Structure formats: structure tokens, C-alpha cells
Amino acid sequence: MNIIKSLILSLFSSIVLLGQAQTFTSGNTYVDSNSYIEYFVGNLPLILSSPHGGYLEPDSIPRRDCDGCVYQRDSYTQELTRGIKDAIVSKTGCYPHMVINLLHRNRLDANRDIIEAADSNTTVEKSWEYFHRMTDTAKAIATRQYEKGLYIDMHAHAHSIQRLEIGHAVWKSDLQQSDNHLNSQIVLEKSTIKNLANDNINNLSHAQLLRGEYSLGTMMHESGFPSVPSSTDSFPLDTQLFFTGGYDVKRHGSRNGGTIDAIQIECNQSWRFTSAGREAFIDSASNTLIEFVKTHYFSDFKANYCEKLLSTSNTNQESYSMYPNPARNTLYINCRLRNASIAIYKNPGILVFEGKLVNEQIDISKFPSGIYYVRISNAHKSLSPKAFVKQ
């Protein structure tokens, strides 16, 4: 059965994996016996998960109590994960897979091995097993339909530097070294995108995929979300905290084999703690993940896979860049769109600036500090909105 035929069947019929009695249908949601874990079945080579965003604290399950355990919930990461899933569905008509832990982290930490995750509670152990079994199921479906794919594990950090931290299980000390070092076999062996580094359509090196022009960090940075590693911010300093990637991406990525790569995204507080910030992040992340899969995995994505994908979602036909971000007095914009107009919003619906994009620089010195959203358009098209921080 070829890949195209497999996808067509997946869109109209149920999928039964070998060795499993349960049937999974694209677009449907399944839960474990206690409704603590949720799995939304997709038909794209993209898997999203939220292991630390749950709210449930049932009295029947005691709090975890172990040395070194972390109990704090990653605030709003469940909302971000669901939002990205919904945005991709809206933009493409296709479904990413999604696995959500609904239990609070003080009951279950789905990003740890089972001993630390469940603290020997049999009920929690079953939910942990379901979380990872459904992630394995999503990987198996994506592999059967597309032969390869990408797993994104959504997290949150409270570090002082307001930037996304993009984790591939590559240590901070490795990122601080040369591209030659990052391309060495010893570093590649621990990378959760090892398969992509060995097989990507533009023949990019591991270092380029980590922090080059088309790395996930750079693509997010250019859409208004400062990120490390990226071409602008290539590595964290010794004095700066940085999450490299945890149990989930190490288990489900390609470092130990397979063709599903994994990346951990740690979202900073400035985007998570307001509805406007979350909306901007969701819009940008959904566009960027679609573009990332197209750029690195499938040159014929539109023709041979989900036929609606690029025709409805590619908002990057006429890209633009803006810098610096954060900005203090002047925002510079590089845009190729002819006869363009620009609108800047403090919050969705609150217009603070509007005019023609003439000299490609905007005076923002009198703007109050905060998060702003830029929309550029002309009579024929509207480009994807981007966000920036006014200091």
C-alpha cells in the first residue's frame, strides 16, 4: 500500500494498529479508564503533547512525595497545546495528533520515568502508561502514513530571560561550541532529531537544524518570539538557565532509533500569562510548525499528503522580518510586499498605529511597554501577523 493510499484510507476509515484491540479514528478523542489522559487522533506527521498542564487533583490520589520531585504545573501549556492543535485544524483542515495529561503534576509527572512520575501509585502508573502508549500509537500511525514525522512536547519556564528555549537533548555546553562539534557523531547520538539530521530534504547539517536559518528556533524568532538556540541567539551562556529536553523527547525522539524526531518547547512567561500573548504564540507556532515540516520533511507535502495544507495555511508567500525584538525606540521592518500598509495593535482589536509602510521603520518610542502585534497587507493579500516586545 503506498503512502497516498494509506492517507486516503486514514481520512475515511478507522485505524487498527497491529497488536492492539482498540480502533482509532482520525479526528476522534480517546481517554483512559479514569479520564486522566486524553488522546486526539491525527492524520498529519505532527504530534503535540502537554505532560505538565493538567488541573485535576482527585482526593483519591495522594500527592507525589519523592526526593527531588517537582510539583509545579506548567501554567497554560495545556491551553497552548490545544490552541496550536485547533489552529492547525482551522488552517489546514487536517489533524495533528495530541496527547494531554489532565492530572496535576503533583499527582502525575508524565515527563519522568514511571518511578518518579507515579510514586508507586498503581492508578497513576496506569495513566502514565496510557500517556506514553498513546504517544507511541500516534508515532506508529504517523510512521505508517508518512514514514517519518515530528513530536513537539510543550513546556513552560520561569527563567528571567524572556525567550523560548528549544530543546533537542543537546547540552548547553555542546551548544556553546562550534558547528563542527555539533555535527560530530558523539553529539548527534544524543540528539532527539538524529533522524532528521541524517535525512532532510535540504541536506542541512545537525548544527544548521539546531540554530541555522531554518531551525525551529530561528523560525520562531523571526515570527516575533525570541528563541535559543537560533541564528540570533545561538547558545545560552554559562550563567543562564536552559532546559535541554526531558524524558518525553528522549524517549519518543529518534536518538534511539525510529523516524519520529522530537523537540521540546519551553515557553516563557511573557507569552503565557495573558490571553493576547497566548493567542499570538498559538498563531505563530501553528504556522511555524507547518512550515518546519514542509521545509525539512516533505518537498511534495501539498501534492501527496493533506491536499488542503499549503493552499490554506501558507501565509509566508511574501515574508517579512522586523528587528530588534525586544525594541525600545525604533522598529525596523524589511518587507517585499508592494504598496504595503501596516497596523500595530496593543491587544487584538486595539489599534495603536496605522499607515503606509514607506521607509520601513516605525517610531515606537512613545508606545507604553508591552506586547504588540504587527499586521502588514496590501489590496491583494494580508501577511501573517507577528509580535514584538516594546521595552
Q: pLDDT tens for residues 102-147?
A: 999 999 999 999 999 999 999 999 999 999 999 999 999 999 888 8
Report the 10 Å Cβ neighbour count for 159.
15
Does 350 lie in the same domain as 241?
A: no
Beta 97-101 vs 37-40: how paired, if at all?
Answer: antiparallel
Pairwise CA distance, residues 204 & 177, whole Å: 18
Domain of 88: which CATH number?
A: 3.40.630.40
Note whether 273 and 302 are same-domain residues. yes
User: Is residue 23 domain-shared with residue 81, that is, in the same domain?
Assistant: yes
Q: Which of 222-226, 285-289, 326-330 has the lowest mean pLDDT?
A: 326-330
Q: DSSP string covering 80-105, please?
A: HHHHHHHHHHHHHS---EEEEE-B-T
Which neighbouring-strand residues pair with 38?
31, 100
Mind listing the pLDDT tens digit for each residue in 220-231?
Answer: 999 989 999 999
Final residue of a structural domain among 274, 297, 313:
313
Q: Are residues 304 and 368 in the same domain?
A: no
| 136-149 residue pLDDT tens | 999 999 998 888 99
Number of domains in the chain: 2
CA 359 to chain centre: 34
Q: Are residues 294 and 349 in the same domain?
A: no
229 prior amide bond cis, ω within 30? yes
pLDDT attached to residue 307: 45
Q: What is the pTM of this model?
A: 0.77
- For residue range 33-49, what is the model confidence (pLDDT) as tens digits? 999 999 999 989 999 99
- Asked whether residue 17 falls in the same domain as residue 76, the answer is yes
The pLDDT of residue 15 is 44
349 and 207 in a common domain:
no
Interval 177-226: pLDDT, tens: 999 999 999 999 999 999 999 999 999 999 999 999 999 999 999 998 99
297 and 183 in a single domain? The answer is yes
Asked if residue 169 lies in contact with residue 280, where contact means CB atoms within 8 angstroms, the answer is no
pLDDT given at position 180: 98
* E-state strands within 129-187: 149-156, 164-167
Question: Do residues 80 and 283 touch, judged by C-beta distance below 8 A?
Answer: no
What residues make up the domain containing 149?
A: 3-313
**Domain shared by 133 and 238, yes or no:** yes
349/246: higher pLDDT = 246
Q: Distance (Å, rounded) from C-alpha 225 to C-alpha 80?
A: 14
Distance CA 216, CA 28 (A): 29
Dihedral sign computed on CA atoms, order 263, 45, 98, 284: positive
CATH number of the domain at 343, please: 2.60.40
Closest by alpha carbon to 353, among 322, 375, 320, 337? Answer: 375
pLDDT tier at 1, thresholds 50, 70, 90: very low
Which of 298, 313, 328 represents a domain boundary (last residue)? Answer: 313
Q: 190 and 232 share a domain?
A: yes
**Is residue 106 domain-shared with residue 88, that is, in the same domain?**
yes
Residues 98 and 122 in one domain: yes
Of 295, 313, 331, the position where a domain reaches its end is: 313
